[in-house]
Amino acid sequence: MIVNDKQAMVEAEIAELYEMTTGQLAEKYEQLHGQPTRTRHRQYLIRKNAWRIQAHAFGGLSERAKRRAAELANDADIRVMAPKTLVCPPQGGEPETRTTRFIKRDPRIPSAGSAIVRTYKGKKLRVVVLDGDRGFEYEGQRYDTLSAVAKHITGSHINGFRFFGLGKKS
């Protein structure tokens, strides 16, 4: 009958949890666990408090279960998935090779060395396309994008391809 009395007391205490506010549940959590909670999720607090109440009344995990949990934690791999790239140090006398990133040039941009010419507010504008991914040159200044050039010219943001009339991607 002692077990039934203990069971009834635990059930009554757990039933009280459902009547508590979230703040009261957080206080109860701190009393039961010895540290403040980092969450205000009501159902979580009810479950954690109910578990702790039961553990105090009937005992927590057995020593065997605690040992097994420790074994599993030590054997578990932290990563769930393998890394996408494998980093290996150079081996012996093998030469180190590096690959460079291939940048596909936008087909709307003319070839390097070409000039993009446009008249704007009665002034003839000339922008030179630089080699590779070096950008564009306008009045001795280098710009990364045509939009940066157009912004410099107009004073407001505007799409560089549209400003210079360079059509759509093919």
| pLDDT tens per residue, range 64-98 | 988 888 888 776 666 566 656 655 655 665 555 55
From first CA to last CA, the distance across the chain in angstroms is: 84
Residue that finishes a domain, picked among 73, 93, 125: 73
Q: Write the burial class of residue 167 (CB in 10 Å: 0-12 exposed, 13-18 middle, 19+ buried).
A: exposed
Residue that finishes a domain, picked among 17, 52, 73: 73
Q: Which domain holds residue 149?
A: 115-163
9 and 63 share one domain? yes
CA distance 116 to 162: 12
Residue that finishes a domain, picked among 73, 107, 129: 73
| pLDDT tens per residue, range 13-60 | 999 999 999 999 999 999 999 999 999 999 999 999 999 999 888 887
| pLDDT tens per residue, range 90-130 | 566 555 555 555 556 778 888 888 899 999 999 999 999 99
Domain membership of residue 91 (yes or no) is: no
Number of domains in the chain: 2
C-alpha distances in Å from residue 83, one per residue of 31, 49, 79, 91, 99: 42, 38, 8, 20, 20
Entry pTM? 0.40
Domain membership of residue 99 (yes or no) is: no
Contact 169, 108 (CB under 8 A): yes
